[in-house]
């Protein structure tokens, strides 16, 4: 069982930066694939970024590629999402999720953290 806690959201002007954190309980968090997703009002939830357990492989949605960076510190049971050059269209609730499998659905979800980018 893994419990995830998202944090780091807030209000920022366009062009600014935020760093989201996903802190996990459980000694085996380093074995989990972790992803970030976002859900904006009136839109479907969408994939943002993911990282494999070792941190050796990452993936990004085209809309954030080159602006967002996902990373992890397994010793701290934490995954980060560094978001730079933020745009108003990045406004959403951001969720981290964890999966024991290397592909497929995610098993555990955080509660979400609000990111609002003003123009």
pLDDT tens for 95-104 read 999 999 888 8
d(CA 12, CA 25): 29
How much is the pLDDT for 29?
A: 86
Tokens coding 69: 């960076």
With a CB cutoff of 8 Å and minimum separation 6, the contacts of 71 are: 51, 55, 79, 80, 82
Residue 86 has pLDDT above 80, yes or no: yes
User: Phi, psi (5° rounding) for residue 113?
Assistant: -140, 135
Residue 78 has pLDDT above 90, yes or no: yes
């Amino acid at each position: 069982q893994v419990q995830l806690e998202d944090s780091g959201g807030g209000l920022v002007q366009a062009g600014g930066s935020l760093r989201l954190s996903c802190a996990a309980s459980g000694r085996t968090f380093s074995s989990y694939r972790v992803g970030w997703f976002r859900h904006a009002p009136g839109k479907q939830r969408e994939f943002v970024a993911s990282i494999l357990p070792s941190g050796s492989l990452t993936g990004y949605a085209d809309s954030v590629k080159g602006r967002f960076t996902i990373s992890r510190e397994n010793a701290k049971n934490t995954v980060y999402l560094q978001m730079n050059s933020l745009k108003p269209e990045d406004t959403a609730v951001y969720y981290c999720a964890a999966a024991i499998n290397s592909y497929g659905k995610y098993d555990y979800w955080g509660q979400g953290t609000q990111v609002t980018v003003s123009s």
